[in-house]
């Protein structure tokens, strides 16, 4: 009987996928198809949850088959992330306009990411204090105890790590190993390696212009091929979002979410507040925040459902260039850097909230100005090297709590609501990246405002 029900669920998913495919055939806009996949996935997932529950074999095995579409889509995007990070950074140096503003672009792009992370930390602290969150009140169940046991090993890798040790971990002693993503800091290591190649190119261009020109053509060709792969993968975004959202809605522990409701609400209040600050920054640059949101929604929707900033990178860069009119040089520079630096949600709001929540257990007054400023500073420094994949927030929190000599067990106590909060955090990470790209391009004259204001700029992102 269970096998029959699983087959029925698979057939329904295939029918829904076919419906989205027919929408594409009828030239329904890309963004509309993405939101259709999101909405249908939520409804389908809730139905599965209500009919079978989260622990039944039917739900478990159904989701395993659905993962072929959902997790398979994420894996395809992750497949191209490291090549895209590498070729984007190298390609950024070969762009004539970018090399003239390289110092300014580097300073602005990274500076905006760090400043917004500091602001996000303040907001996370405000939310924790405003809602009166207290880590002592959290109770550990079987799942939480198991989670804490898993974290023991991870804690050991970071609790004795000094800031100099952390900086050293960024350096690529074996860049080819880092291209495989072998370390939590592999992404920033690849960025550093690619930057060295770019700087070497600039030197060669002055002394051996013919060789430099040939290298630039090779890089441009590789970049074009990589982006074509990205385009092919992005075409299946609506189907991936459908499967991913179905899984989230079908497997979420709604009772645990209810029990930790105050923390969930406080987290999303902080996330929304930071999102509004992003829009204020866009407005101060004399750009339409409404246009920014409309063009960014498909990208943010995927970030929300996939919980992977790295997996969203291809769509992030496409949105910046095709949707907002950011030059390829700036988008290719800021996008990859944002995977490891200044993630507003995972490395900003979340660690700051946890630090405030466990401070009383360590005999520290969470309202102390000196403690708050210390938390913000540590959060900003620790935001370097945080992996842009699921689990990045956990790693960032372990670093911050360890540096501040605070109890780390709270990280495991929130496992039941981690997926729900992580969706919002990831969307905020990606939004911060796009804000940094747009503002950097605006200040350096690398923003095509005609493209930014074009209402149809992003509809063809996955159709090209």
- Give 439's pLDDT tier (boundaries 50, 70, 90): very high
Q: What pLDDT score does 305 carry? A: 82
Question: Which of these, 238, 231, 233, 235, lies nearest to 32 by C-alpha position?
Answer: 238
* Cα–Cα dist 318/357, whole Å: 38
Q: Per the domain annotation, does 359 fall within a domain? A: yes
Q: Per the domain annotation, does 176 fall within a domain? A: yes
Kindly report the backbone phi and psi dihedral angles of residue 326, in degrees, each rounded to the nearest multiple of 5, phi listed first.
Answer: -70, 140
Domain, as residue range, for 379: 2-82+102-453
What percentage of residues in the chain have a pLDDT greater than 70?
85
Read off the pLDDT of each residue in 89-100 and give the average, rounded to a whole number.
Answer: 70
Question: Which of these, 191, 447, 169, lies nearest to 336 by C-alpha position?
Answer: 191
146/397: higher pLDDT: 397
CB-CB neighbours of 179 under 10 Å: 18
* Cα–Cα dist 96/99, whole Å: 6
* Cα–Cα dist 395/403, whole Å: 12
Q: What pLDDT score does 141 carry? A: 46
Buried b (16+ CB within 10 A) or exposed e, 45-63: beebbeebeeeeebbebbb
Task: Quote the distance between the C-alpha of residue 414 and its chain's center.
Answer: 20
CB-CB neighbours of 142 under 10 Å: 7
* Number of domains into which the chain is organized: 1
CA–CA distance from 112 to each of 77, 181, 187, 337, 436 (Å)? 26, 26, 19, 12, 6
3-state DSSP assignment of residue 161: coil
Residues 6+ apart with CB under 8 A from 321: 327, 328, 331
Q: Is the pLDDT of residue 149 over 60?
A: no
414/274: higher pLDDT: 274
Where are the strands (E) in 40-177, listed by range? none
Read off the pLDDT of each residue in 177-193 and give the average, rounded to a whole number.
Answer: 78
- CB contact at 8 A, 416 and 256: yes
CA–CA distance from 361 to each of 121, 160, 369, 389, 401 (Å)? 20, 21, 18, 30, 12
Q: What pLDDT score does 385 carry? A: 60
Out of 66-70, 161-165, 199-203, 429-433, pick the least confident. Answer: 161-165
Residues 6+ apart with CB under 8 A from 286: none
Read off the pLDDT of each residue in 228-245 and give the average, rounded to a whole number.
Answer: 86
Out of 43-57, 197-211, 374-388, pick the least confident. Answer: 374-388
Q: Per the domain annotation, does 93 fall within a domain? A: no
Q: Is the pLDDT of residue 280 over 70?
A: yes
Q: Is the pLDDT of residue 148 over 60?
A: no
Read off the pLDDT of each residue in 342-371 and give the average, rounded to a whole number.
Answer: 88
Q: What pLDDT score does 40 carry? A: 93
Question: Which of these, 200, 447, 457, 438, lies nearest to 335 by C-alpha position?
Answer: 438
Rounded to 10 degrees, the C-alpha dihedral 452/456/460/464 comes to -70
Q: Per the domain annotation, does 91 fall within a domain? A: no
Q: Is the pLDDT of residue 412 over 70?
A: no
Q: What pLDDT score does 140 carry? A: 46
Q: What pLDDT score does 169 carry? A: 73
Read off the pLDDT of each residue in 226-250 and give the average, rounded to a whole number.
Answer: 86
- Give 138's pLDDT tier (boundaries 50, 70, 90): low
Read off the pLDDT of each residue in 181-202 and give the average, rounded to a whole number.
Answer: 82
Q: Is the pLDDT of residue 340 over 90?
A: no
Out of 100-104, 322-326, 383-387, pick the least confident. Answer: 383-387
Read off the pLDDT of each residue in 383-394 and give the average, rounded to a whole number.
Answer: 62
CATH number reported for the structural domain that contains residue 432 in this entry: 1.10.3860.10
- Give 110's pLDDT tier (boundaries 50, 70, 90): confident
Q: Per the domain annotation, does 460 fall within a domain? A: no
Q: Per the domain annotation, does 92 fall within a domain? A: no
* Cα–Cα dist 47/69, whole Å: 19
Q: Per the domain annotation, does 96 fall within a domain? A: no
Q: Per the domain annotation, does 274 fall within a domain? A: yes
Average pLDDT, the chain: 83
């Amino acid at each position: 009987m269970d096998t029959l029900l699983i087959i029925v669920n698979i057939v329904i998913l295939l029918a829904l996928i076919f419906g989205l495919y027919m929408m594409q055939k009828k030239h329904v806009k890309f963004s509309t198809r993405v939101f259709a996949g999101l909405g249908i996935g939520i409804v389908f997932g809730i139905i599965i949850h209500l009919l079978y529950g989260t622990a039944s074999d039917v739900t478990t095995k159904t989701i395993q088959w659905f993962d072929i579409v959902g997790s398979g889509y994420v894996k395809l995007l992750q497949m191209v992330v490291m090549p895209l990070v590498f070729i984007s950074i190298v390609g950024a140096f070969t762009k004539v306009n970018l090399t003239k503003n390289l110092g300014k672009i580097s300073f602005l792009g990274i500076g905006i990411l760090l400043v917004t992370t500091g602001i996000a930390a303040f907001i996370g602290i405000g939310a924790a204090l405003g809602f009166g969150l207290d880590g002592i009140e959290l109770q550990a169940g079987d799942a939480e105890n198991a989670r804490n046991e898993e974290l023991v090993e991870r804690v050991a890798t970071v609790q004795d790590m000094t800031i100099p040790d952390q900086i050293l971990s960024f350096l690529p002693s074996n860049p080819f190993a880092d291209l495989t993503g072998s370390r939590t800091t592999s992404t920033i290591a690849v960025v550093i390696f690619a930057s060295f190649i770019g700087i070497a190119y600039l030197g060669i261009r002055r002394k051996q212009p013919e060789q430099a020109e040939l290298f630039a053509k090779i890089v441009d060709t590789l970049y074009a091929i990589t982006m074509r792969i990205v385009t092919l993968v992005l075409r299946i975004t609506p189907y991936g979002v459908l499967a991913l959202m179905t899984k989230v809605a079908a497997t979420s522990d709604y009772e645990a979410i209810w029990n930790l409701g105050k923390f969930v609400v406080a987290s999303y209040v902080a996330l929304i507040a930071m999102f509004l600050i992003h829009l204020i920054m866009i407005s101060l640059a004399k750009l339409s925040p409404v246009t920014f949101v409309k063009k960014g929604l498909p990208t943010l929707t995927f970030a929300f459902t996939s919980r992977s900033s790295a997996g969203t990178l291809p769509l992030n860069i496409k949105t910046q260039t095709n949707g907002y009119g950011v030059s390829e040089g700036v988008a290719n520079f800021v996008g990859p850097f944002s995977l490891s630096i200044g993630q507003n949600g995972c490395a900003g709001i979340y660690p700051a909230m946890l630090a405030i929540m466990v401070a009383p257990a360590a005999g520290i007054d969470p309202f102390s100005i000196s403690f708050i400023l210390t938390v913000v500073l540590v959060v900003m420094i620790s935001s370097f090297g945080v992996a842009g994949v699921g689990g990045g927030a956990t790693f960032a929190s372990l670093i911050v709590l360890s540096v501040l000599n605070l109890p780390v067990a709270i990280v495991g106590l929130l496992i039941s609501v981690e997926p729900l909060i992580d969706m919002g955090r990831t969307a905020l990470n990606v939004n911060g990246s796009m804000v940094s790209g747009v503002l950097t391009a605006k200040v350096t004259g690398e923003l095509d405002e005609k493209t930014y204001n074009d209402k149809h700029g992003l509809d063809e992102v996955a159709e090209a």
